[in-house]
Amino acid sequence: MELQFLGTGGGRYVTGMQRRKTGGIVIKTDETQVHVDPGPGGLVNSHEFLEHPEETEAVLVTHAHMDHFNDAQAIIEMMVEAYNNAGVLLANRTVLEGFGDLEKAISDYHQGLCGRVDTMKEGSTHEVGDLEIECQEMFHSDPKTIGFTVESSEKKIGFWTDTEFSGELVDLYSDCDTLVVFCSRPVDSATSSHTAVDEVPDIVEASDADTVILTHFGYKLLDEGVEEQKKWLEEKIDAKVVMAEDGMKFPGNRTLDAF
Ligand SMILES: [Zn+2]
């Protein structure tokens, strides 16, 4: 299993200014390719970075915020219309139906184009090609936001998505080899809906992960410096720390500063 980061920015300021790209993350195996959270630029970044955009056969959207769903419809049209894949859509309830004040984020037309549409919810599991995906609800301003793990025969990778930190959430990630943490905020600036760098050690310690990859950086973290945040974290945990970069492949690209 390989990951490629099409974008590593998060939040409205970084997204609006494109200080980092916001195209999401692609999970690749020999059998399948899944595009996670295609924010603004997701379609363009797919063609810019992926060797085989035509192999994307599923799109996964964790919640109904613009930096996560914006290009989902464009990716659906790419998969289904441009490249004749059946098209699998995995998304939380808010994205598919709307919830509370949040409107649905993918039109009925685009949901209808997909060969399969699954609702990701607390405890749900989903198969895409050779990947097994397991979900839980996180604590975020879209109350139905999904965190998940992806397992293939060789590896298990956990995705700690947008959420306030809570010890109740760590169990899902207990036997992951690698953790991807959507970490918007620098040390000492946790907010009620996003994860900060100083909360990462508790997440990593609860798992067996030997590598943690941070991504989805907000403006304050970028202003304070990615390298400084990495150094702080390296002093606290034994796991290898990778600060994701736009276009980065994991594992691989070892010439990049991130490694
Ligand atoms: Zn969000």
Residue 69 CA, ligand 1 centroid: distance in Å? 10
Sign of the Cα pseudo-torsion (69, 49, 134, 221, in order): negative
**pTM of the predicted structure, to 2 decimals:** 0.96
Residue 148 CA, ligand 1 centroid: distance in Å? 15
Q: ∠ CA 233-134-31 to the nearest 5 degrees?
A: 95
Residue 140 CA, ligand 1 centroid: distance in Å? 7
| Predicted pLDDT at 139 | 97
What residues does each domain of the chain span? 2-245
Average pLDDT score over the chain: 96
Q: Please state, in angstroms and as integers, the Cα–Cα distance from residue 109 to each residue in 43, 76, 219, 258, following that order.
A: 18, 11, 35, 40
Residue 65 CA, ligand 1 centroid: distance in Å? 5
**Which residues pair with residue 196 across a beta bridge?**
185
Residue 110 CA, ligand 1 centroid: distance in Å? 22
Q: Which residue has the tokens 């599923």?
A: 58
Residue 76 CA, ligand 1 centroid: distance in Å? 21
Residues of the chain with pLDDT under 70: 253-259
User: Under CATH, which number does the domain 2-245 receive?
Assistant: 3.60.15.10
Residue 233 CA, ligand 1 centroid: distance in Å? 23
Task: Indicate the DSSP class of residue 37.
Answer: -
Are residues 192 and 165 in contact, defined by beta-carbon separation less than 8 angstroms?
no
Residue 185 CA, ligand 1 centroid: distance in Å? 13
| Predicted pLDDT at 259 | 47
| Predicted pLDDT at 253 | 55
CA distance 159 to 64: 17
| Predicted pLDDT at 189 | 85
Residue 165 CA, ligand 1 centroid: distance in Å? 14
Are residues 139 and 169 in contact, defined by beta-carbon separation less than 8 angstroms?
yes
CA distance 115 to 138: 27
Residue 162 CA, ligand 1 centroid: distance in Å? 5
Query: Which tens digits make up the pLDDT trace of 132-160?
Result: 999 999 999 999 999 999 999 989 999 99
